[in-house]
Amino acid sequence: MAIQDIYPTALRLLGRPVLVVGGGRVAARRAKGLLDAGARVTVVAPEAITALRELADAGLLTWEPRTYRSEDVDGVWFVQTATGDPAVDTRVAADAEAQRVWCVNASDHESSAAWTPAVAEVDDVKIAVNAGGDPRRAMALRDAVATALESGDLPLRRRRAHRGSVALVGGGPGDTGLITVRGRRLLGQADVVVADRLGPRELLNELAPDVRVIEVGKTPGHHPVPQAEINRILVEEALQGHRVVRLKGGDPYVLGRGGEEAEFCRRHGVEVEVVSGVTSAISVPAAAGIPVTHRGLAKGFSVVTGHEELSEVPARADHTVVLLMGVGQLRESASALGKAGLPSDTPVGIVENGYLPDQRVTIGTLGTIADQAEAAGVANPAVIVIGDVVRVSPFAPSHFKTADYSTTSPNKPRTSTTRVLTP
């Protein structure tokens, strides 16, 4: 049989009787697949492995503990041989051919009337690959296609009418490689993308030409599209039957108003999914080599957006404070922490445009950082980290690095030749 002789199709076997001849691992695998398709499975084999016995004991299939008989083919819609004995498999295939019943002959794929493809499912898409009768090659190709679909490299978008939905997708701090696999997949299925100013903007260029992108980006103090209007857009587009992705920077539930959007959608009967993202509060400091917690330095951290909340966080160098979008209020925030008791020599790091080509790191102390930031022209988007964890950064000046705070060699002096980005 040549691959040109194959006419690819899919069988709907729900409720239809099928026959599996054989009781080994291949038979069990094929029986399981047929059961998943809803077929009524009968297995004929003198002996059966445990997996088949358990399916039979559970009432999911019928096992006839005997040798094959020609009449076993009567009335079935599909046959799978898997005895491991070419003579028996050939006899079964001949009986099936005489009755015009499609049969997969596991012992002789060249003469088999049908082939079983390598199959995978991604969402509601079923992938079936035939590779000239080479099962390992087919499985490798199947896995590659499935991975590409799951990662969003191949389109999963529906083209026929479907029920609308909303997915709140956290895109991470901006690098396209930091969005989750689930988020990338949903973006590839979207009919409408409601996009923030931050996040993986380059992914928008990969969307199909007919995918609508609605820009609702905000900057500090400038909200051209109010939150109430964003909520309305999400619901209105979903109710028109569109798959809507609300693409956000960071994580939808970390100071991203994702909770409000999800609640609004549910209140209006719209199915909503939340896909967590890599929050900039943790990932952007990491891009500058700053962990928000570190043994011997800090066991906890707080994330805030303005100096008003700083009175409620621990004013200690061993408790990390992360300020998001706080450049405009940096002087007030530093003053507030100082008044709360945080020493003026507490290390402070500012990371602008984390993970992007123009990332910049400025490091100083609570007493100097506002002047440094002003002189350097520091601007949002930026993440500010306050606390002793800044000492770990390779960008920290040498006098900050008084000890090695690793778990393997505590208090060992350390040095660094990494350039320090301070004015």
pLDDT tens digit string along 57-87? 999 999 999 999 999 999 999 999 999 999 9
Residue 158 has pLDDT above 80, yes or no: no
Residue 423 in any domain: the answer is no
What SS3 class is residue 271? strand
For residues 289 and 321, membership in a common domain is answered with yes
Residue 90 in any domain: the answer is yes
Mean pLDDT, all residues of the chain:
87
Residue 27 has pLDDT above 80, yes or no: yes
Share of the chain above pLDDT 90, in %: 60
pLDDT at position 48 is: 95
What SS3 class is residue 45? coil
Boundary residue ending a domain (55, 87, 116): 116
- Helix ranges (H only) for 152-242 are 181-189, 227-239
pTM of structure: 0.62
Sheet holding 319-324, edge to edge: 300-304, 319-324, 382-386, 347-352, 360-365
More confident residue, 6 or 247: 247
What confidence category does residue 404 fall into, taking pLDDT thresholds of 50, 70 and 90? low
**Tokens of residue 115, six digits:** 């082939």
Report the pLDDT averaged over residues 167-196: 91
Out of 72, 175, 191, 196, the active site residue is 196
pLDDT at position 418 is: 36
The enclosing domain of 193 has a CATH number of: 3.40.1010.10
Whether residue 220 is preceded by a cis peptide bond, meaning omega within 30 degrees of 0, is no
For residues 272 and 287, membership in a common domain is answered with no
For residues 39 and 95, membership in a common domain is answered with yes
Dump pLDDT digits (tens) for 191-243: 999 999 888 989 999 888 899 999 997 665 556 889 999 999 999 999 999 99
pLDDT at position 313 is: 87
For residues 253 and 334, membership in a common domain is answered with no
Residue 414 in any domain: the answer is no
Element (H, E) at 283: helix 280-287
For residues 298 and 259, membership in a common domain is answered with no
The amino acid at 14: L
Boundary residue ending a domain (83, 116, 149): 116
For residues 245 and 353, membership in a common domain is answered with no
For residues 294 and 363, membership in a common domain is answered with yes
Question: How is residue 19 annotated by DSSP?
Answer: E
More confident residue, 259 or 160: 259
Q: Is 218 in the active site?
A: yes
Rounded distance, CA 317 to CA 386, Å?
8
The enclosing domain of 328 has a CATH number of: 3.30.950.10
Element (H, E) at 286: helix 280-287
Q: Which domain holds residue 209?
A: 165-278
Q: Are 138 and 27 in contact (CB under 8 A)?
A: no
For residues 334 and 227, membership in a common domain is answered with no
Out of 85, 108, 218, 371, the active site residue is 218
Distances (CA, A) of 218 to 201, 223, 249, 282, 405: 14, 5, 11, 21, 39
Residue 311 in any domain: the answer is yes
Neighbours of 237 (CB within 10 A): 21
Q: Name beta bridge partners: 170.
A: 248
Query: 417 burial class (0-12, 13-18, 19+ CB within 10 angstroms)?
Result: exposed
Residue 415 in any domain: the answer is no
The enclosing domain of 97 has a CATH number of: 3.40.50.720
Dump pLDDT digits (tens) for 39-51: 999 999 999 999 9
Rounded distance, CA 2 to CA 317, Å?
72
For residues 256 and 341, membership in a common domain is answered with no
Share of the chain above pLDDT 70, in %: 89
Question: How is residue 117 annotated by DSSP?
Answer: P
Residue 219 in any domain: the answer is yes
Report the pLDDT averaged over residues 372-377: 94
Query: 8 burial class (0-12, 13-18, 19+ CB within 10 angstroms)?
Result: exposed
Residue in 209, 219, 163, 156 with CA at minimum distance from that of residue 183: 156
Residue in 115, 116, 118 with CA at minimum distance from that of residue 140: 118
For residues 328 and 250, membership in a common domain is answered with no
For residues 177 and 108, membership in a common domain is answered with no
Question: How is residue 119 annotated by DSSP?
Answer: E
Residue 145 in any domain: the answer is no
For residues 197 and 268, membership in a common domain is answered with yes
Q: Is 123 in the active site?
A: no
Boundary residue ending a domain (278, 306, 330): 278
Rounded distance, CA 202 to CA 198, Å?
11
Q: How many domains does the chain have?
A: 3
Residue 272 in any domain: the answer is yes
